[in-house]
Structure formats: structure tokens, C-alpha cells
């Protein structure tokens, strides 16, 4: 059954301060909507529970990408197209650029926002593993002030996160310290784009003098939340990358993930693919070691 527009209220304050004041006066009653690529699907199906919507689309305070010597600051209202078109993201954060290119089609990329992807909290979201390995910091803002939350602690359970009822994500901060890292990103799905991932991976690694000195691996669609593979990362540090280590890394994967059987895939398939992708990442590190 389709939704009746008369059952909904939408307001569009002209700036972020007015949005936050509204949410402060009536916490939990107003649901922010930006690009609407998730909420409007629910609305069209008559399944959107929120009845009072406040638009944060195109607020200038949320659409900035700012660069300093130490970090990149991405406004939560920046679209996937904004991410794809940014030269710093393309050169220094290619995992995020790849995820932006995988997300939906061009129309979705023009409307969908990075902040919306985070708050929607789907464990299958393409951009979230990249934010984990880049160790993003979220700046959360409310009328009473702001606070910072490491992205790795933001998701608490399936579709559950640390955002309070009167808060919005204002900025996603990424440290600019990944020069010289091997970047590895893969999405396995029915299609390359316009498909929800069966498994996706974002990984970073650095090799010096033939040994792995840093490794960061995150997976999507294999647990209730986007997942860092800490055990696997620790198993790689200090080792020589190669086929034997790739096999060892693959063997650690099943102990850390919690995939499910659903309409898109099976537990068995997801486990096998996740292990294979991690092994491919280690082999990519081996290729870098061979070029030193």
C-alpha cells in the first residue's frame, strides 16, 4: 500500500542552527531527511514510520569538503558524486572513491549522502568499510553543543548507533596519513553497481623491507555491523607477505564474521568469499614487497 502524503509533515529550515533548534525542542519527533534515497523507498512502499520530517538537504554547513595539512573534513551532506569528483579523495582515499562509484546509479549518487549512509546503518553499505580502515572521526552536533565519536564505535548493533535523538552528523574527518599504502577494494554482488553487496571489503596495508608494518581490513555484509578484522590484522603485522601468509589470513576470517543466509546470498558463500578476498589482499601486499 502506497503512502498518503497527507499523513506526513515536512519542514525545510534555511540553516543548520534552525534544524538543531527544532530537534532540541522536540527530540525523537523529527526525522532528518537529506537525499532521501533510503527514506523515500520506505515512503513509496507505505512503510515509513516517521510522520514529521525535517529537510537537511543542501544545507551549506553540511556540503563542504575542507582540507588541512592533517586531515580531510567531509560534510555529512556531501553526495557520492561530491566524493567521486574530489581530487584529494581520489588520490589519498581511493577506497572511499571506489565505494562512492559502486553505490547505486548516477541518480542515487547525485542524491545519496555520506552522512545518510552512515546513519542508515546498513551492514551492507558500500562506504562504511572504507571509513573503518581510514579510522574516521565523526563530529556530532546538537543545539547544546558537539562531540566527537570514532567511527569504529558508532555502530552498536544492527541498525543501532550512537547518535542521540537531537543530534546530526556534521562532519566526517579522515586523517591524511596513508601515503604509500596498498589500497584494496572489492565488491561482490549480482552486478558491480546498483546492487546490494553480498560481501564487500576495504583494506589498507604497508610493507617495508619485505615485512608488513601495518594492515587494516574491514568487511561489509558479513555481520550485523560493518566489521574490522582485528585478529587477521594482528596476524599479518611483522610477517613476509606471500601465499602461505595469505592462506593463514584466510583461515582466520571465519572466526570473526557472522554472516547470515538471506535472499541475496548464503552464510557458506559469504564466508568463502570473505576468506578469498582477504587472501587476495595479502597477495597484493606480496606484489608490493616484490617491487621494493
Q: How, if at all, do strands 65-67 and 71-75 pair?
A: antiparallel
What's residue 275's pLDDT? Answer: 97
In a domain, 192, yes or no: yes
Residues 64 and 171 in one domain: yes
Q: How, if at all, do strands 155-157 and 160-161 pair?
A: antiparallel
Domain boundary among 122, 143, 175: 175
Burial zone of 72 (CB within 10 Å; 0-12 exposed, 13-18 middle, 19+ buried): buried
**HSE toward the beta carbon, residue 101, CA cutoff 13 A:** 15
In a domain, 84, yes or no: yes
Residues 156 and 190 in one domain: no
pLDDT band at 6 (very low <50, low <70, confident <90, very high): confident
Hey, how many other C-beta atoms are within 10 angstroms of the C-beta on 238? Answer: 9
Residues 64 and 170 in one domain: yes
Cα distance between residue 63 and residue 5, in whole Å: 28
What's residue 180's pLDDT? Answer: 93
Residues 257 and 208 in one domain: yes
Mean pLDDT for 12-16 is 96
Residues 84 and 149 in one domain: yes
Residues 99 and 39 in one domain: no
pLDDT band at 270 (very low <50, low <70, confident <90, very high): very high
The boundaries of the domain holding residue 282 are 182-291
Helical ranges in the chain per DSSP H? 16-25, 39-44, 80-85, 87-92, 94-102, 106-111, 114-120, 128-133, 230-236, 243-253, 267-291
Q: Which of 1-10, 193-202, 275-284 tops mean pLDDT?
A: 275-284
In a domain, 1, yes or no: no
* CB contact set of 286 (below 8 Å; sequence gap of 6+): 241, 242, 243, 245, 246
User: Tens digits of per-residue pLDDT, 144-203?
Assistant: 999 999 999 999 999 999 999 999 999 999 999 999 999 999 999 876 667 788 999 999
The dihedral built from the CA positions of residue 167, 71, 97 and 65, taken in this order, carries a sign that is positive
CATH of the domain at 218: 3.30.390.50
In a domain, 2, yes or no: no
What's residue 290's pLDDT? Answer: 56
- Report phi then psi at 73, rounded to 5: -115, 115
Residues 35 and 88 in one domain: no
pLDDT band at 89 (very low <50, low <70, confident <90, very high): very high
Residues 266 and 284 in one domain: yes
Mean pLDDT for 6-22 is 95
Residues 49 and 114 in one domain: no
pTM, rounded to two decimals? 0.94
Closest CA to 63 of 29, 16, 26: 16
Residues 72 and 24 in one domain: no
Residues 73 and 44 in one domain: no
What's residue 202's pLDDT? Answer: 98
Residues 170 and 225 in one domain: no
CATH of the domain at 156: 3.30.465.10
In a domain, 225, yes or no: yes
What's residue 1's pLDDT? Answer: 59
Domain boundary among 175, 196, 221: 175
In a domain, 249, yes or no: yes
In a domain, 260, yes or no: yes
User: Percent of the chain having pLDDT more than 70?
Assistant: 97
In a domain, 166, yes or no: yes
Judge whether residue 240 has pLDDT over 70. yes
Judge whether residue 15 has pLDDT over 90. yes
CATH of the domain at 50: 3.30.43
Cα distance between residue 9 and residue 19, in whole Å: 15
**Can you tell me which residue has the cell 604509500?**
180
User: Tens digits of per-residue pLDDT, 92-104?
Assistant: 999 999 999 998 8
Domain boundary among 146, 175, 204: 175
Question: How many domains, the chain?
Answer: 3
User: Tens digits of per-residue pLDDT, 24-39?
Assistant: 999 899 999 999 999 9
Judge whether residue 122 has pLDDT over 80. yes
- Report phi then psi at 163, rounded to 5: -70, 130
Judge whether residue 136 has pLDDT over 70. yes
Amino acid at each position: 500500500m502506497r503512502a498518503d502524503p497527507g499523513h506526513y509533515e515536512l519542514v525545510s529550515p534555511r540553516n543548520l542552527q534552525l534544524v538543531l533548534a527544532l530537534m532540541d525542542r522536540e527530540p525523537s519527533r523529527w526525522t532528518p531527511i537529506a537525499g532521501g534515497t533510503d527514506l523515500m523507498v520506505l515512503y513509496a512502499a507505505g512503510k515509513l514510520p516517521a510522520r514529521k520530517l525535517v529537510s537537511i538537504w543542501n544545507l551549506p554547513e553540511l556540503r563542504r569538503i575542507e582540507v588541512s595539512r592533517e586531515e580531510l573534513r567531509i560534510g555529512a551532506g556531501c553526495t557520492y558524486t561530491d566524493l567521486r569528483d574530489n581530487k584529494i579523495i581520489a588520490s589519498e582515499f581511493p577506497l572511499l572513491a571506489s565505494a562512492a562509484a559502486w553505490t547505486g546509479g548516477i541518480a542515487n549518487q547525485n542524491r545519496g549522502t555520506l552522512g545518510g549512509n552512515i546513519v542508515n546503518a546498513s551492514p551492507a553499505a558500500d562506504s562504511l568499510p572504507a571509513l573503518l580502515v581510514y579510522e574516521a572521526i565523526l563530529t556530532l552536533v546538537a543545539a547544546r553543543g558537539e562531540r566527537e565519536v570514532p567511527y569504529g564505535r558508532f555502530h552498536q548493533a544492527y541498525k543501532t548507533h550512537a547518535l542521540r535523538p537531537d543530534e546530526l552528523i556534521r562532519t566526517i574527518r579522515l586523517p591524511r596519513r596513508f601515503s604509500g599504502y596498498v589500497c584494496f577494494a572489492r565488491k561482490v554482488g549480482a552486478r558491480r553497481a546498483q546492487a546490494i553487496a553480498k560481501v564487500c571489503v576495504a583494506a589498507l596495508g604497508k610493507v617495508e623491507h619485505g615485512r608488513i608494518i601495518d594492515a587494516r581490513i574491514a568487511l561489509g555484509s558479513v555481520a550485523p555491523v560493518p566489521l574490522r578484522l582485528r585478529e587477521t590484522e594482528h596476524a599479518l603485522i611483522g610477517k613476509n607477505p606471500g601465499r602461505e601468509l595469505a592462506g593463514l589470513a584466510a583461515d582466520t576470517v571465519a572466526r570473526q564474521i557472522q554472516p547470515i543466509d538471506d535472499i541475496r546470498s548464503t552464510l557458506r558463500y559469504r564466508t568463502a568469499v570473505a576468506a578469498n578476498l582477504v587472501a587476495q589482499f595479502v597477495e597484493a601486499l606480496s606484489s608490493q614487497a616484490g617491487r621494493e
